Structure 1
Amino acid sequence: MRQPLIACICLVAALLFTVKSRGDDPMVVLIANPSVIQSSLSLETVRAIFAMRQRTLADGQAIHVFVLPDGDPLHEAFAKKILGVYPHQLRLAWDRAVFSGTGQAPNEVATAAEMVKAVATTPGGIGYAYRSELTNQVRVIDID
């Protein structure tokens, strides 16, 4: 009688400690060029930006999206934990837009360091990075 109760309590405790909201992962953050004036964006807006459906910010500034290759652990973490989609779902959306002629794919960089540099040097640049790899040349954008 006690073993099922203890097992149930352990399961509930484990679930409580592992559940996080999408924007609460302290390791992966949304970054932007300092020219981006918004300090936060809604999750829906971030999803639209990375699905390449939204090409400008609210102030009219053009967005330049940077991503890492599909198999990169940082890309997978950003897609799954922040956007709530699998990397292959993003790739399908980008390929569909490119092949139909209705859009374009994001700019792909090879490494996390290149991501930070590309975002830092491109007005309107938006990407993602591990918090530990940030420089003072990019801004962290909160996700509401």
Structure 2
Amino acid sequence: MGFFSYWLRGILFLTLLVTFSFAGNALSFDGSVEVITHPGVNSNYLSKNLLRSIFGMRLRTWQDGLPVRVFVLPDDAPLHSTFTKQKLNIFPYQLRSAWDRMVYSGTGQAPFVVHTEEEMRARIASTPGAIGYLSGSMINDSVQVVHIDE
């Protein structure tokens, strides 16, 4: 192989390296995750235990009788992992295991899965009784931020 072939491989390698580093940055977020609800939900503060009951699909209605509608990102989404670890103090696989037990035993249902934060925000904003989470940079006036008491 001549010099030109090695040079071409080097350029290809650097191009791929730069491409994947930018793709990785596009999938990351600022590290903060906030619990959000539909603006009509009357709970601005939730305890960590209540939040676990909601996302564990054990709490089915809000205090005013409105059905709770839980929205989550896919299990492998970085924000989902951050949410479960920071806000619920459990691992994503533990949450999935609880949902699967309820679904397969016929005692409950799994949450609604959305594929992007934009979809999460839109679904929460348009669904009465909805709850979910977003990175801090994705929050706007269409949703309500809920504070979690330790």
**TM-score band (shorter)?**
0.7 to 0.9
Which of 90, 94, 111 is the matching residue for 1:85? 90
Normalising by the residue count of structure 2, what TM-score does the alignment of the two structures yield? 0.78
DSSP 3-state at the match of 2:86: helix
DSSP 3-state at the match of 1:34: coil
Unaligned runs of 5+ in 1: 1-25
CA distance in 2, matches of 1:136, 1:64: 19
Normalising by the residue count of structure 1, what TM-score does the alignment of the two structures yield? 0.81
Deviation digits for residues 39-96 of structure 1 (CA, Å, limit 9, x no counterpart): 1111100000000000111221110000000010100000001100000001000010
Which of 104, 107, 112 is the matching residue for 2:112? 107
Rg: which structure is higher? 2
Identity %: 50
Partner of 2:134: 129
CA distance in 1, matches of 2:83, 2:60: 19
In structure 1, what residue type is equivalent to 2:108? G
Partner of 1:141: 146
Q: How many residues align?
A: 119
Unaligned runs of 5+ in 2: 1-30
Deviation digits for residues 81-135 of structure 1 (CA, Å, limit 9, x no counterpart): 1100000001000010000000000000001111111101100010000010012
Q: Hey, which bits of structure 1, 4+ residues long, moved more than 3 A?
A: none
1:49 aligns with 2:60: no
CA distance in 1, matches of 2:40, 2:67: 11
Q: How does 1:2-81 map to 2 (within 5 A)?
A: 27-81=32-86
